Amino acid sequence: MSTNAPTPEINLDAINQEVQGLSKEALEAEVLKFRVRQKKQQKRQQGTGAQKQYQLKQRAKYNAMKAEAIRLGIWDTINETAEKMAEEQLAEEATEPETEEVA
């Protein structure tokens, strides 16, 4: 059996307008947030588990923000900071004791 699921539609113009409306500081914070999450996922070697449309929208937004960060010359700094923050967060998570106890 073959089911034809509808292809999700992404409004790239709206995403580009949203990204271009961000200040340099806000753009840096948003891209850094994305990169930290990506770096953590890469280090854990986990696959994605999100729904397809969410993934497509997030990826389109990330690509637009990355392009803008590269254009502004802040991409390398963001990437280096994301690498350090991901390593620090993973190290913290590895040393945290298990807090979930079943009574």
What is the per-residue pLDDT across 27-77, written as a single tens digit (0 to 9) for each?
999 999 999 988 887 676 554 555 567 778 888 999 999 999 999 999 999
CA 39 – CA 91 distance, rounded (Å) = 13
What residue type is assigned to position 15 of the chain?
Answer: I
What pLDDT is stored for residue 103 in this prediction?
41
What pLDDT is stored for residue 51 in this prediction?
55
pTM, to two decimals: 0.47
* Segment 7-25 mean pLDDT: 85
Between 38 and 96, name the one with better pLDDT.
38
- Alpha carbon of residue 9 to chain centroid: 20
pLDDT category of residue 94 using cuts at 50, 70 and 90 = confident
What pLDDT is stored for residue 69 in this prediction?
94
